Chains A and B, each alone.
Chain A
Amino acid sequence: MKRFLISLLSAGMILAAGPASAAEKLTVLLDWFVNPDHGPLFVARERGEFAKRGLEVKFIAPADPNDPPKLVAAGKADIAVSYQPQLHLQIAAGLPLTRIGTLVATPLNSVVVLADGPIKSIADLKGRKIGFSVGGFEDALLGAMLARHGLSLKDVTLINVNFSLSPSLMSGQVDAVIGAFRNFELNQMDINGRPGRAFYLEEEGIPAYDELILVAKNDRLGDPKLRAFIDAIEAATQYMINHPDDAWKLFLKGNKDLDDELNRRAWRDTLPRFALRPGALDKSRYARFATFLKAQGMIETTPPVASYAVEIK
């Protein structure tokens, strides 16, 4: 009798435990190797914001920043960190992606030159060599910036330096670089003793845009996991603004190799640029940038923003 009751109790306990409370898995592809731009993501994880909402998030850093959106569009990952300008090109190429949130709400891209160099304004770029890392639309951005000074792309030489932006600039192999992130490359050059001067794109005739956004595949938009993810990011960003130093320590917890001067400075410079409302969307801002790209000949049509950017519910 005693034995029967024990086995009954065990069976009951197993049944009562219910379905395994396995957290829902999400794969998030970063745009680049882990860096302070990804602050809210990692702070959210360390603060338990994902676990709290029943999410188990895996972050993967790619070797090629062009891959993540394609992989999400192909259904191989759930969310990708990408760039708003790239999104417009991807939509034009037919990728079934939608922007579901914003990570960094200002442009980070800038044209950087040596501070002690001869280039004091965009007009001085005439006849110079400009390094870039292939994103696909550098010539559009540069073309617009040069046009304001009566110049065109024919007046400069574009050289693909493949992410070796600061070294090529510091070694003098190019006179300027575009695609340098103002929170990163400037600090890197300063630390190396060759400070740079930056021309911010949005101050040089480019419409403002979101540098880092979150995209998901169109058929996933009804998934409540996505909203939960955005909520977690929102909570983390809030914490970062309120407790910047503690947040930095949390970020380092999962990324010990980023504890150096460069990343510390980048963290400080990126902090004011994170989207305080990651889920919010300014449709006119997106439409304005699309119009700009069309005028530059990078895309042919400007589809309605709602077809590729939403506030996820």
Chain B
Amino acid sequence: MTRDKETQGSDNTGWRCHDGGAIGLRIANASLAFAGTPLFENLSADIAGGQWTCILGPSGVGKSTLLRMIAGLGENGPVAGITASDGAALDQRIAWMGQQDLLLPWLSVSQNVALGNKLRGEPADGARIASLLADVGLSERPAALPATLSGGQRQRAALARTLMEDRPVVLMDEPFSAVDAITRARLQELAARLLRGRTVLLVTHDPLEALRLGHRIHVMAGRPAHLGTAMEPPGETPRDPTDPALRALHLALLAQLGAAADDPSNGGAP
């Protein structure tokens, strides 16, 4: 896998394998238990490359845990059975974005964006930082401390940081849930544009967000959890939420979520 400079483009769209296809994720019989309770048991799923896959589900079902499992986070280290679709390991090919912006308060916006480089002891590309900040609309505030930024601005900085990592797979855990509706809508459009062509796995609790951004939508349910059949809404992302074609899908999703919440194997209400 090499970065193909020609297909790169100045707005960082496209991250393609040499053979033209982006890498997907293959989860094969992955299991994870926590304090004796199995969260996932022989979970198998294929996440398509180059597309946005959204995962919905009731609270506590394990959506964040799934992302963390794929990212190799947590005390138990990498879980067996999770690989890239080209068979190689996912090491260093994933960028992870948590629920909070996780900006380090003692670093400026630019320094936060270049955090990955700093941690790995690599020199950071100043021009690229500036370009990314311009993309997310923060070029006025490169030296600002996170404490001086609004919630929306901080999420944008986090987005820039994720992009700086330039990884083919991007895992996002409810990244826009902490901001108001207008800011959320803007951030969704920004993310959809800047991450186009990458393999994105987005966890969200908002079915409308999933419908706006997802090429495939799964509802996670049960304990141990499993991913339901994918819903594939039509049309280019980001979709228009007022589109009547989405309404039926919205209702269907709500029904699925309701059923998932009432699933007895969940062990009761969240």
| Chain A in direct contact with chain B (Cβ < 8 angstroms) | no
Q: Which residues of B contact A (CB under 8 A)?
A: none
Q: Which residues of A contact B (CB under 8 A)?
A: none
